[in-house]
Amino acid sequence: MNQAVSRAGQASKPKLGVFKFASCDGCQLSILNLEDDLLALGQALDIAYFPEASSDMKPGPYDIVLVEGSITTEEDTHRIRSVREQAKVLVTIGACATAGGIQALRNWADVEAFKQVVYPSPEYIHSLSSSTPISEHVHVDFELWGCPIDKGQLLRILTDVVAGIQPCLPTESVCMECKRRGTVCVLVAKAMPCLGPVTRAGCGAICPSMGRDCYGCFGPSEGSRAGPGFPPNTASLAKQFHSGLQLIPVEVLRRFRGVNGYAPSFREESNAWEKKT
């Protein structure tokens, strides 16, 4: 794979492009927050297109493209295709690009009604009725989960892609990170409705280590073969929230309908609890 990227890198630095769709810019900020590592990144890559960081915008094609944000407008559905055409390797960064983001809550609501309530002149708003992940529109090579993404994972994926190596990101549960760092389980010891058991590792289990329950910002664990019998077993955890932790159905629904609520296994789980509310 990606031999072109790696071999081209020896002659001239691989070109990096960073594109934004519907998002809060937090994941792009994670890149700027790399600090010293950003300088090293600048030495390994030609940061050719990154409007958030520099007004010097070079045209494509790009060896690696990072895409932040979800698709929420008709115009974006065209723009993402053109971005894909310019990208050798396309990596989505964050919950919005990878799963539709918090704005995907609109997928369960009436966007027209929102427009009428929020805007004085709703006719100027040209918005799709849904927020969808990039992978519903174009082929995505790799996905970085998180809200925001983890800096370490970003660096690993970039250095691996530049070197022509398949990136290796964890798919296991957040619980493994909690236990490795010696964090006491907030679900078992404090009855908090933690999503860690069904959420993908990668954040370093930040929330439980601060005494908070994981809200699933790294998306469902595994998920390559979602469905009954395969992890993540959201149904069993949801049942425990309800019968063990005494959450009422709408509270269970809300646990799963967060920033990654539109990721298939979380979506199906919240839909199942919608029927019980």
Partner 1 sequence: MREIGVTAVASEIGILSRSDFQRFFDILCSKEYRIVGPTVRDGAAVWETIRHVSDLPIGWRDHQEPGRYRLEQTGSKEIFGVVHGPQSLKPFVFTPREPLLQIERSRDGFIARPTPPQREKVAVIGARACDLAGLTIQDQIFLQGEYQDGYYATRREGLFIIAVNCTRALQTCFCTSMDTGPRAKNGFDLALTEVGDQLLVEAGSEAGAELLSALSLSPATHKAIAEAAARVDACAQSQVRRLDRTRLPQALYDAHEHPRWDDVSARCLACANCTMVCPTCFCHKVEEAPDLTRQRTEHARLWDSCFTQEHGHIHGKNIRPTIKDRYRMWMTHKLASWLDQFGTSGCVGCGRCITWCPVGIDLTEELASLVSSSSSARA
Partner 2 sequence: MHVHEGKLIDMANPYLIHPATIIEKIREAEDIHTFRLRLNDEKARRSFRFTAGQFNMVYLFGVGEVAISIISDPDESESLGHTIRSVGRVTSAVAQLQAGETLGIRGPFGQGWPLDEACGRNVVIVTGGLGCAPVVGAIEYMLRRRRHYGSIKVIHGVKTPRDLLYHERFETWGKQADTEVLLASNRPDETWRHHVGVVTDLFEHVLIDPAKTMVLMCGPEIMMRLGVPILMKRGIPATAIYVSLERHMECGIGLCGHCQLGPYFLCKDGPVMRYDLVEPWLGRVGV
Provide the minimum distance between the beta carbon of 109 and partner 1 in the complex, in angstroms, as a whole number.
30
Q: How far is the CB of 162 from partner 2 (least distance, A)?
A: 11
Binding marks (x or -) toward partner 2, 51..90, rule CB under 8 A? ----------------------------------------
Residue 231, binding choice from partner 2, partner 1, none, Cβ under 5 to 8 Å by partner class: partner 1
With CB under 8 A as the contact rule, the residue among 10, 124, 189, 275 that binds partner 1 is 189
Q: Which is nearer to partner 2, 2 or 70 (CB)?
A: 2
Two tokens, residue 104 = 């995907």
Out of partner 2, partner 1, none, what residue 94 binds, judged by CB under 5 to 8 A for its kind, is none
Tell me, residue by residue from 160 to 199, as one string, x for binding to partner 2 by CB under 8 A and - for no binding: ---xxxx-x-------------------------------
Residues 6+ apart with CB under 8 A from 48: 15, 16, 17, 57, 58, 60, 62
Closer residue to partner 2, CB minimum distance, 39 or 163: 163
Q: Which does 164 bind (CB under 5 to 8 A by kind): partner 1, partner 2, none?
A: partner 2
CB of 217 to partner 2, least distance (A): 26
Q: What is the DSSP string of the chain?
A: --HHHHHHHHHSPPEEEEEE-BS-SHHHHHHHTTTHHHHHHHHHSEEEE-TTT-S----S-EEEEEEESBB-SHHHHHHHHHHHHTEEEEEEEHHHHHH--GGGGGGGS-HHHHHHHH-SSGGG----S--B-GGGTS--SEEE-BTTB-HHHHHHHHHHHHTT-------SBHHHHHHHHTPPPHHHHH-----GGGBBS-S-SHHHHTT-----TT-BSS-TT-STTSS--HHHHHHIIIIIS---HHHHHHHHSSTTTTSHHHHHHHHHHHTT-
With CB under 8 A as the rule, give the number of residues binding partner 1: 46
Q: Determine which residue in the list 1, 39, 184, 250 makes contact with partner 2, applying CB under 8 A.
A: 1
Q: Which residues of the chain form contacts with partner 2 (CB under 8 A)? A: 1, 3, 6, 163-166, 168
Q: Which residues of the chain form contacts with partner 1 (CB under 8 A)? A: 37, 40-41, 44, 155, 159, 163, 171-173, 175-176, 179-191, 194, 196-198, 211, 221-222, 224-225, 228-233, 235-237, 239-240, 244
